Structure 1
Amino acid sequence: MIPKSDRQFLDKIMFIKNKRQKLLASHKSKLNIRGIES
């Protein structure tokens, strides 16, 4: 069993990682749209 505090810590890390990946993905798609327009 993983201690509860460690579980919460891991959940936080995964949450931040997912957030960063989503931000990067949306940023890349915006760049792609700009590239197509110009």
Structure 2
Amino acid sequence: MLGFGAGMGMPNMKRCSDSFQIVSALGTGTSITMDFNL
């Protein structure tokens, strides 16, 4: 059932955003930043 959840999926979000960044650090967590030019 992979790919049939409620989310848009990382590849689609990366394709639709103007800027996409993932920063992850052990013990700190993960930060995902997406920018959309209006």
TM-score, structure 2 as length reference: 0.26
The answer to which structure, 1 or 2, has the higher relative contact order (CA under 8 A, 6+ apart) is 2
Q: Name the structure where helix makes up a greater proportion of residues.
A: 1
Q: Name the structure where strand makes up a greater proportion of residues.
A: 2
Higher gyration radius (CA): 1
